[in-house]
Structure 1
Amino acid sequence: MRTEDLHAELVAELADTAWLDTALETVARQPAAIARLFPAAGRRCGRGMLSDHGRIPPGWSVDDAARVLLLAGLPRESAAAEVEQLYRYGDAAEKRAVLRALPLLDLPPSVVEPLLLDALRTNDTRLVTAALGPAARHLDAAAWRQGVLKAVFMQLPLAGVADLDERADAELATMLGGLARERRAAGRSMAADATELLHRLQERVS
């Protein structure tokens, strides 16, 4: 996803872009201003869903887009410190926007990975889903597998897991197989997409 496409989608959704335009100009000149502008995005731009025109992934809200654009507009030298603070002190919607912005920011793994791991430790479906999106490329194989297993356990759609077929391996198949057996023993079943993934992996390694 490109910031240009995200900006175009957001502008098309807003009746008035004055606040957004001013906010983007402000954070580019005064990065610390994002501490007050980032939380205000929902109130100033709205929290409805963006229309799906195929240029951005489905499920993005207006405030998601505004916050991600603010983060993408930060000067590179200020981005890491601001991102960490905004995630640490943000509410769930603000944390999700930080996670969604990570693929668009040039941040070192030492900044990105702890945020993803923190999100995967929560039981908030919004944060787990966002952490397994494109930014999950920063997770090592073990952490990524655990994230996918948690998504299956929480019955989240696996379509939202970035690079699933490319990264799924025999170890993930073993983990999914164990979960499937536990579910069967409890008289429960795994979601259809997880069962299909398990079958694909088993066929791949057989």
Structure 2
Amino acid sequence: MAPRFVGKQPLSFTAEHLREAHSIRPGFNPQVWTADQAARTLLLLHAPHQSPSEYIAKLDRLFSTADLGELVALYAALPLLPYPELHVQRAAEGVRTTMTSVFDAIALRNPYPHDYLPEEAWNQLVLKAVFNARPLHQIYGLDQRRNASLAQMLLDYAHERWAAGRTLTPEVWRLMGPYLTADHRPDLQRLLLSNNALENQAAFLALSESNNPIAKELLSQFLTGEQASQPAFFTWQSIGESAYTS
């Protein structure tokens, strides 16, 4: 009944509001929340219960009967709810959903996956975001949870896309920098020689984050001494925003 009482209009936040949200719960970002979503979250936070198991049982009943809007509110609220360690399985189920708005609620602007999902579920979330063309730069804690297994899976996916004559978001290279090896030379040369400026930028940033000698060698080949000494005017954030809106 929340929409009947408070409506579904988007909430308006100032930069100060968002900073306060982050200070209360690191990573909490209600930037795209609606009034009914906020009302439902308040109800969840005030649901009476005597034990963790009773609270989880109430949540399970809500999830089992929820419509689309309610599911979005439930998943987006996970980082705020009590007993966060007990919601891991529920969050993993959200990652597997076929509904884009529900997936976005758990995957984007939501600190819960970063803080609680095991590596396998985290990697599945990132891979699904890539498959479904969701903005990786809106995944909280993306850099902190980079791992070798995810980097290899994304590289395999990139090869599949290229073999089929297709492209993929340059944001994937954000997850590969620390794991680059000499074997990646052809892939990086392809990006550096690309006519796509965002792919060039992604290659430069990935190489700059690598400690592998091949990285310095490739950078020196494609950058003049003057260029190499200049600070980059692009970031992973700017690359992601441009890639997602283009």
Which range, TM-score by smaller chain? 0.7 to 0.9
RMSD, matched Cα: 2.0
| Separation (CA, whole Å) in 1 of partners of 2:105 and 2:90 | 11
Give the alignment partner of residue 107 of structure 1, picking from 65, 77, 83: 83
| Separation (CA, whole Å) in 2 of partners of 1:103 and 1:150 | 21
Computing the radius of gyration over CA atoms, which structure comes out larger, 1 or 2? 2
Is residue 2:26 matched to residue 1:48? no
Give the alignment partner of residue 73 of structure 1, picking from 43, 46, 50: 46
| Separation (CA, whole Å) in 2 of partners of 1:44 and 1:201 | 51
- Which residue in the other structure is 1:154 paired with? 132
- Which residue in the other structure is 2:111 paired with? 134
Distance 1:184 1:176, change over 3 A: same
Which of the pair is proportionally richer in helix? 1
Deviation at 1:105, TM superposition (A): 1.4
Q: Show CA shifts across 1:20-69 (max 9, x none).
A: xxxxxxxxxxxxxxxxxxxx112221111111313242211111111111
Is residue 2:94 matched to residue 1:116? no
Distance 1:205 1:76, change over 3 A: farther
Distance 1:52 1:187, change over 3 A: farther
Deviation at 1:108, TM superposition (A): 5.2
What TM-score do you get using the length of structure 2 for normalisation? Answer: 0.62
> What secondary structure does 1:166 align onto?
coil
- Which residue in the other structure is 2:183 paired with? none
Is residue 2:95 matched to residue 1:83? no
Is residue 2:35 matched to residue 1:62? yes
- In structure 2, the gaps of 5 or more residues are 19-28, 181-208, 213-246
Contact 2:7/2:35 (CA < 8 Å) preserved in 1? yes
> What secondary structure does 1:131 align onto?
helix
Q: Which is worse superposed, 165-174 or 122-131?
A: 122-131
Number of residues of Structure 1 aligned to a counterpart in Structure 2: 166
User: Identical aligned pairs, as a percentage?
Assistant: 36
Deviation at 1:200, TM superposition (A): 6.1
Is residue 2:144 matched to residue 1:166? yes
Contact 2:3/2:36 (CA < 8 Å) preserved in 1? yes
